[in-house]
């Protein structure tokens, strides 16, 4: 498929070979005479980046030193590659034997010459765009895996693909989805163990169609199914697939509704430790996560919001630790893990660490799962701490929003989310792309607003009090919310919404240095790379790529790319030259929000690119400008009543706002529709007239009258914008 067609398929109006050097690495015989395929037989060469996180410890650290704190100011562009799409980019490429392998939206795979950017081959998994409806947060992909001349990827529709690394030819494929009537999608990077390819999925947030979490393992050579571990119990009248689920079911209480699938998706954060031969992964929120908000009837809901370790050969559970019992705040525990050997309490320990969405930094013994430390790395007010004996959080009154809105830190976006953190063995510090962001969260059924449901939030909502926070504008739909001035009293002198790059010492358990990266509105800033050259590299939502001194946090340089950066950079060396690479493009969980006005991508097209830098390189050419991004075409005439428009606003908010916002973004701004789209609006929403572009029909969610009301509301919004636009022009 051409770049032009890829861009159209991924965005559209309404949505969305050269031979490489063979790598011979040492191996050893193992049981049954099979070659040992575990990572222990695959040492990481300093000039390569063979895993999404750089190594199997997930450190996002490189021992390369050619680019360092003394010369990083000389960085410039070496080469760039246009990926042909315009969605969110969240993967970090691999580089092996001089070839770069990476994935983009839908699970498209690219192989490029790592020194020049020349395309060697491209694999398109052939996704049915209708499946985009199952993607909670854009059709993103977080990376590929490589082993013995084979590249592995999970496409957005939940299929695993094994590709010949020289040609991109598919060797085998496996369908990992157990029930295609549920809202399953795959966005995470695949994981390789000694003999298997492992993947989870997403879908905990999508209402009555939400999915039941699990991970599954497939034979690395043949793609045949090996085992599956479910993270939550089945419906009350169904048998347990494995014994751990009997224990889990007891923690759900008597009021569990069997129509829900319980959630617990594993959409990111899969890690494998060859020393213990176990897979460590985190699980997402419950589904629904607002059943009983009253603290008097709170149940743990295992194994949601938990860290789980299973035997990599058979999937049997070794241990678990639940970070957020009875999660009611969307505190997924799927953030990426780092394995390390650290002195904890003066004793050397092999540990697993995570900066969790719930705001606490957890350190556990990797072999036993024993909790060793849990400390707030960002501002937290839903709990006053974690009891290290019981492992349970100590809830505050802020945690209970069942009858009154509460401003909860961190927000549903988390104190840290999917964006990778980095651990430097050289400095001993962990560099966390943290969020200092609250949300006013409330029970929609009890707050007096017109809405009692919001797709993706069940009957709760969390409104982030950024610079667009408008209590008067929210009141009709959501009810009364606290004024921003009232919220500010909790932390006077501090912006309510900030993103901060923090250097955290996991031994002394404190912040060593920090840099604020955005304020006022979320920038959706990127993940982090650290190196032995004593540098830390992070991209921001405003389009800049920053390099810091890893020890002091002092900025060394910044490069303007003209593109929004969410993914974590990586580094490699080819032909004696060290490079730093990063994929750029806005989307992901911000798909429904306009690109931040502070972003260089606000006025530029959201062109997905791979940008590669070296010492002595040149400036980065920005993408093409957007064409009239703020113009309102004249809308069609409308005779809709005020009541019809109000009903349309409600239905738009319930079912459309998850993807569509007002302003330049990923999904189109429906308040600026051209005449040809207005004329086919009903057919698009009810009949899937643009399904080939990713806009699946919503006929199972809304009626014809609902759609006509939604259209009336959008016409009204467009009329207001058009009139204001012409009034402003006339006054000049």
Q: Alpha carbon of 168 to those of 17, 19, 108, 190, 436: distances in Å?
A: 9, 11, 11, 17, 42
pLDDT at 652: 92
pLDDT in tens, 131-152: 656 666 778 999 999 999 999 9
558: β partners: 546
Q: What b/e sequence results for 485-499 when a residue is b if at least 16 CB atoms lie within 10 Å of its CB, and e otherwise? A: eebeeeeeeebbbbb
Contact 79, 658 (CB under 8 A): no
Compute the distance between CA of residue 414 and CA of residue 510 in angstroms, rounded to an integer.
19
Cis amide linkage into residue 5, ω under 30° from 0? no
CATH code for position 409: 2.140.10.10
Number of H helices, E strands in the chain: 8, 40
Q: Which of 598, 600, 595 is nearest to 619 (CA)?
A: 600
- 350-362 per-position pLDDT tens digit: 999 999 999 999 9
Same domain, 275 and 418: yes
Contacts of 27 (CB under 8 A, 6+ apart): 35, 36, 37, 41
Q: Which residue has the tokens 């643009």?
A: 690
Q: Which residues of the chain have pLDDT under 50?
A: 1-42, 292-296
Residues 582 and 646 reside in one and the same domain:
no
Residue 155 and residue 105 in contact, taking contact as beta carbons nearer than 8 Å: no
Last residue of a domain, one of 597, 615, 633: 615
520 and 657 assigned to the same domain: no
- Between the two ends of the chain, the Cα-to-Cα distance in Å is 47
**Distance of alpha carbon 596 from alpha carbon 90, whole angstroms:** 18
**Res 29: pLDDT:** 28
127 shares a domain with 253: yes
689, part of any domain: yes
Which residues are identified as catalytic? 330
Question: 285 with 330: CB under 8 angstroms?
Answer: yes
Distance CA 48, CA 582 (A): 15
- Rounded Cα distance between 518 and 525, Å, is 8
DSSP tag of 698: -
pLDDT at 665: 77
Coil, helix or strand at residue 316: coil
Domain end marker among 571, 598, 615: 615
pLDDT score for 299: 86
The secondary structure of 320-372 as a DSSP string is EEESSTT--S-----SPPEEEEEEETTEEEEEEEEE-TTSEEEEEETTT--EE
Q: Is residue 634 part of a domain?
A: no
The predicted pLDDT at position 10 comes to 37
In this structure, the answer to whether residues 13 and 73 fall within a common structural domain is yes
589 and 646 inside one domain: no
Is 518 within a domain? yes
Same domain, 713 and 675: yes
- What pLDDT does residue 9 have? 37
Q: Looking at the structure, do residues 69 and 197 belong to the same domain, yes or no?
A: yes
How much is the CA Rg of the chain, to the nearest whole Å?
Answer: 25
**pLDDT of 719:** 95
Residues of the domain holding 205? 3-615
Position 622 in a domain:
no
SS3 of 723, please? helix
Residue 472 falls within a domain, yes or no? Answer: yes
Query: Under the phi-then-psi rule, with left for phi > 0, alpha for psi from -120 to 50, and beta for the rest, what region is 617?
Result: beta
Strand-pairing partners, residue 574, are 577
Residue 572 lies in a domain: yes
Instruction: Give how far the C-alpha of residue 276 lies from the chain's centroid of Cα atoms, to the nearest Å.
Output: 28
Would you call the peptide bond into 288 cis, given omega within 30 degrees of 0 as the criterion?
yes
CATH number, domain containing residue 671:
1.10.760.10
Question: Are 673 and 598 members of one domain?
Answer: no
d(CA 504, CA 510): 6
CB 265 within 8 A of CB 137: no
Query: Is residue 518 domain-shared with residue 654, that is, in the same domain?
Result: no
Would you say residue 621 lies in a domain? no
Domain boundary among 598, 615, 632: 615
pTM: 0.92
Q: 48 and 98: one domain? A: yes
Measured CA to CA in angstroms, residue 225 lies from 181, 242, 308, 417, 655 at distances of 21, 16, 21, 30, 36
In a domain, 561, yes or no: yes
* Measured CA distances, 255 to 100, 199, 211, 361 (Å): 51, 31, 19, 32
What pLDDT sits at residue 298?
67
Cis before 410? omega within 30: yes
- Rounded distance, CA 266 to CA 283, Å? 5
Number of domains forming the structure of the chain: 2
Is 573 in the same domain as 660? no
Alpha carbon of residue 550 to chain centroid: 25
d(CA 534, CA 67): 9
């Amino acid at each position: 498929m051409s770049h032009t067609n890829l861009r159209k398929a991924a965005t559209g109006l309404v949505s969305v070979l050269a031979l490489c050097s063979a790598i011979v690495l040492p191996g050893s015989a193992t049981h049954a005479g099979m070659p040992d395929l575990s990572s222990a037989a695959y040492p990481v060469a300093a000039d390569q980046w063979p895993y999404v996180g750089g190594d199997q410890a997930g450190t996002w650290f490189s021992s390369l030193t050619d680019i360092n704190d003394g010369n990083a100011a000389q960085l410039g562009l070496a080469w760039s590659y246009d990926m042909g799409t315009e969605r969110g980019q969240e993967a970090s490429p691999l580089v092996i034997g001089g070839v770069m392998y990476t994935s983009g939206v839908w699970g498209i795979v690219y192989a490029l010459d790592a020194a020049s950017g020349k395309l060697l081959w491209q694999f398109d998994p052939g996704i049915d765009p209708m499946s985009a409806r199952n993607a909670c947060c854009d059709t993103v992909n977080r990376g590929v895996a490589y082993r013995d001349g084979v590249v592995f990827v999970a496409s957005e529709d939940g299929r695993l693909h094994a590709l010949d690394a020289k040609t991109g030819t598919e060797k085998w494929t496996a369908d990992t989805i157990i029930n295609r009537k549920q809202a399953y999608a795959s966005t995470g990077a695949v994981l390789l163990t000694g003999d298997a390819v492992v993947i989870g999925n997403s879908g905990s947030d999508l209402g009555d169609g939400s999915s039941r979490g699990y991970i599954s393992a497939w034979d690395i050579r043949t793609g045949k199914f090996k085992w599956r571990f479910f993270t939550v119990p089945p419906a009350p009248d169904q048998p347990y697939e494995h014994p751990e689920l009997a224990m889990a079911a007891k923690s759900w209480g008597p009021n569990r509704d069997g129509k829900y699938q319980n959630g617990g998706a594993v959409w990111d954060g899969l890690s494998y430790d060859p020393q213990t031969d176990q897979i460590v992964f985190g699980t997402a929120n419950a589904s629904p996560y607002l059943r009983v908000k009253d603290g008097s009837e709170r149940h743990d809901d295992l194994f949601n919001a938990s860290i789980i370790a299973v035997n990599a050969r058979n999937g049997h559970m070794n241990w678990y630790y639940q970070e957020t019992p009875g999660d009611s705040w969307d505190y997924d525990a799927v953030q990426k893990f780092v394995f390390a050997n650290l002195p904890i309490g003066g004793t050397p320990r092999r540990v697993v660490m995570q900066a969790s969405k719930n705001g606490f930094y957890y350190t556990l013994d990797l072999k036993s799962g024993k909790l060793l430390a849990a400390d707030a790395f960002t501002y937290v007010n839903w709990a006053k701490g974690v009891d290290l004996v019981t492992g349970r959080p100590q809830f505050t009154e802020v945690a209970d929003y069942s009858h009154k809105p509460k401003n909860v830190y961190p927000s549903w976006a988390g104190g840290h989310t999917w964006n990778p953190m980095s651990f430097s063995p050289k400095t001993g510090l962990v560099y966390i792309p943290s969020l200092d962001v609250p949300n006013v969260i409330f029970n929609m059924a009890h707050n007096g607003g017109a809405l009692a449901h919001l797709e993706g939030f069940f009957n709760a909502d969390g409104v982030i009090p950024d610079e667009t926070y408008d209590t008067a504008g929210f009141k009709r739909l959501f009810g009364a919310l606290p004024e921003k001035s009232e919220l500010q009293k909790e932390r006077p002198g501090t912006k309510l919404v900030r993103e901060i790059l923090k250097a955290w010492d996991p031994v002394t358990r404190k912040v060593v240095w920090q840099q604020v990266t955005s304020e006022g509105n979320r920038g959706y800033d990127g993940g982090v790379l650290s190196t032995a050259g004593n540098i830390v590299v992070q991209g921001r939502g405003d389009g800049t790529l920053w390099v810091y001194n890893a020890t002091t946090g002092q900025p060394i340089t910044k490069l303007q790319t003209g593109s929004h950066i969410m993914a974590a950079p990586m580094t490699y060396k080819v032909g004696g030259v060290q490079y730093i690479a990063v994929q750029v493009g806005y989307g992901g969980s911000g798909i429904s929000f306009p690109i931040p006005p502070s972003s260089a991508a606000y006025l530029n097209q959201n062109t997905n690119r791979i940008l590669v830098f070296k010492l002595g390189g040149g400036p980065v050419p920005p993408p093409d400008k957007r064409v009239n991004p703020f113009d309102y075409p004249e809308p069609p005439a409308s005779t809709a009543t005020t009541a019809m428009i109000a009903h349309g606003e409600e239905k738009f908010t319930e079912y459309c706002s998850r993807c569509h916002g007002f302003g330049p973004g990923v999904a189109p701004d429906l308040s600026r529709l051209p005449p040809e789209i207005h004329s086919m609006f009903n057919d698009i929403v009810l009949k899937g007239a643009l399904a080939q572009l990713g806009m699946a029909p919503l006929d199972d969610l809304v009626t014809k009258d609902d759609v006509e009301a939604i259209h009336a509301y959008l016409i009204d919004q467009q009329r207001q914008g058009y009139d204001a636009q012409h009034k402003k022009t006339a006054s000049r």
